[in-house]
Chain A
Amino acid sequence: MTDLLRLQDIKVYFRSRAGLFKTVEVKAVDGVSLSLGRGETLALVGESGCGKTTLARTSLRLIRPTSGRIIFDGADITHLPESELKWFRRKAQAIFQDPYSSIDPFMTVKQILEEPLILHKIGSREERMEMIARALEDVKLTPVEEFMGKYPHMLSGGQRQRVVIARALILRPEYIAADEPVSMIDASSRAEILYLMKELQERYGVGFLYITHDIATARHFSDRIAVMYLGKIVEMAEPRELIENPLHPYTQALIEAVPEPDPNNRFRERKVIPGEPPSPINPPPGCKFHPRCPYVMDRCRTEEPQLQEIKKGHLVACHLY
């Protein structure tokens, strides 16, 4: 079986203005390779500024990478012009973080869902209505007739996000990049949206790239987790393996920082890594984590570790191993 999506050594550098005439280079993504199988969910976990959103946008060819290749369904789409990408635009969809800004407030739910069908010239009017009704049933916005006529402001945050999911699914895509799809949803409804995405994924066999800062939801809703730090993947494994046997010092610190509801927490201090992630404008040489790493060695300061398989299915980029 071929992979659905393969990213090969993707680098995305931006020019950022520094003062009036100078520009500097921001290395948002700095050499990432990964693959996603059909119907698989890969969680990309990292803190703000680590490049996870840039990587997701690149995988959708919303950004052209500075170097590297994007292979989708066996086809190299890295440099295809937009006019030859229409098939890809149908097969790859996005779900963004903010359900308040990712749908047009002046369109009804029906219009929002019909738009992609019209753009891709799919179905007759009646067939389109049927597809919209089925999509709304899929995301459990029923009775369907009632929701079709509603405007976004009449919906709750959770309901809006369901509309966004329905819009992403209506073209029967093979790949969806979901960027923090539940971070703006209340805790009591978050799992509901994630279960819904999982259910639809299983029904339609969609491959998901699940971008999140929340490693706990990644544990329960993904098949593999990749941890990013400053434009690089530092560790990748199946959720349980990654959380129970984290190898990279950064992953270990990330896990240690997440509290569970436990009354004993208040009596102990958390082991924390000092400092904050450095700027991607001027990243440190060698391992990018070395200035904050409790196990730093001489080698880490000069030589960048490569991502390699330590155990079966468990990859880490760290000189300790």
Chain B
Amino acid sequence: MAVLDIVNLRLYYKTLRGTVRAVERVSYRVEPGEALGIVGESGCGKTSMANAIMRTLPSNVEVYDGHVIVDGHDVVRMSEEEVRRKIRWRKVSMVFQGAMNALNPVIRVGLQVAEPLIIHEGMDKREALEIAREKLKLVGLPPEVSDRYPHELSGGMKQRVVIAMALVMNPKLVILDEPTSALDVSIQAQIMNLLKKLKREMGLSMIFITHDIALASDLSDRIAVMYAGQVVEIGSAEQVLLEPKHPYTQKLLAATPRLRADITPEFIPGAPPDLASPPQGCRFHPRCPYVMDRCRREEPPDFEVDGGRYVKCWLYGEEG
């Protein structure tokens, strides 16, 4: 059974500029032990989608529907209390973007890691701290870090603490939102190695959110590419990276500067649309080099292209 099954998820916000359609009918599954990379540029809805799974939503939500099935429960239809008791942190946890800089500066990190055990499991403090130290060890930190305050730790160590926090209640799925964006590349590589180890040794499922498709390839078994609130292509890492089908995926890969090759990077003219007034038809059509009449009028459905890969593009309509 899938660890997470998302069907037709929509999330709209109410703003002064009108309704912002941040997540528009997104569907996908995450299987046990699998890492799914979610790749997209800023404002494409990737963080909104993560918040929709965790139900950590702001107050200006206008539409929140579809299904988010975790362990037989539909998070969209549960009460807040139920989500808190049954799902959040216990089944699905999240490493929020910039969380390493949101640690409480006046509480020792061990206690911050142990806190959910004390609150949710009613454990006593000593027992909870023991588990916290185990989790810190798991993420490569010596046990004495437990007694340190956040300001005594380096950036890479703080990021490890935040990952330990997400693991403390043994969830099946961890959502990682840009877990390395605040770190230097050499520290980023250390954290990516840690995530690979956790995936391999604990059989953990992961959703890895990043703007960097090259970094996504470092961890992801499957990759979903988001554009303007929608998943435009999803498939295995091999399918998406080696034979990208959606014009946006192709262009995004071509725009990624290669360190080890003389292929000069390209760019996509124009900018992503405002999600308060997305273009009619395919949302990528104003920037697409292959645009056809139909793309301007009608939104493409998800076409299945060579087994298990879905592409939201009319180019693949006729052959399908």
Contacts and interface: CB of A to CB of B under 8 A. Distances in A.
A213 B181 CA distance: 12
B102 interface: no
Contacts of B236: 263
Interface residues of A, number: 42
B217 to A, nearest CB: 5
B269 interface: yes
A33 interface: no
A291 to B, nearest CB: 14
Contact of A47 (B184, B213, B257): B184
Contact of A256 (B156, B189, B212): B189
B257 A216 contact: yes
Given A48-B184, A213-B185, A266-B221, A258 B259 contact: yes
A258 B185 contact: yes
Interface stretch (B67-75, B248-256, B299-307): B248-256
Given A243-B259, A254-B186, A276-B156, A259 B41 contact: no
A261 B253 contact: yes
A190 B255 contact: yes
Interface of A: 47-48, 156, 158, 186-192, 194-195, 213-217, 219-220, 240, 243, 253-263, 265-266, 269-270, 272-274, 276-277
Contacts of B218: 259, 265-266, 270
Contacts of A263: 217, 236-238, 241-242
A260 B219 contact: no
Given A187-B255, A216-B259, 20 more contacts: A47-B184, A47-B185, A47-B186, A48-B184, A158-B271, A187-B211, A187-B213, A188-B251, A188-B252, A240-B262, A257-B188, A259-B192, A260-B258, A260-B259, A260-B261, A261-B253, A265-B219, A266-B218, A266-B220, A276-B155
Contact of B252 (A48, A187, A272): A187
Interface in B140-191: 154-156, 184-190
B59 interface: no
A260 B265 CA distance: 13
Nearest to A193: B267
Contacts of B255: 187-188, 190-191
A272 B189 contact: yes
B127 interface: no
Nearest to B259: A216
A216 to B, nearest CB: 4
B257 A219 contact: yes
Contacts of A273: 186
Interface residues of B, number: 52
B140 to A, nearest CB: 10
Which of A194, A259, A270 gathers the greatest number of chain B CB atoms within 10 Å? A259
13 contacts: A47-B185, A156-B271, A188-B268, A240-B262, A257-B188, A258-B185, A260-B261, A261-B214, A261-B256, A263-B242, A272-B186, A272-B189, A276-B154
B185 A195 contact: no
B23 interface: no
Contacts of B17: none
A63 to B, nearest CB: 23
Contacts of B154: 276
Given A261-B217, A261-B256, A263-B242, A270 B237 contact: no
Contacts of B41: 186-188
Contacts of A190: 255, 257, 265, 267
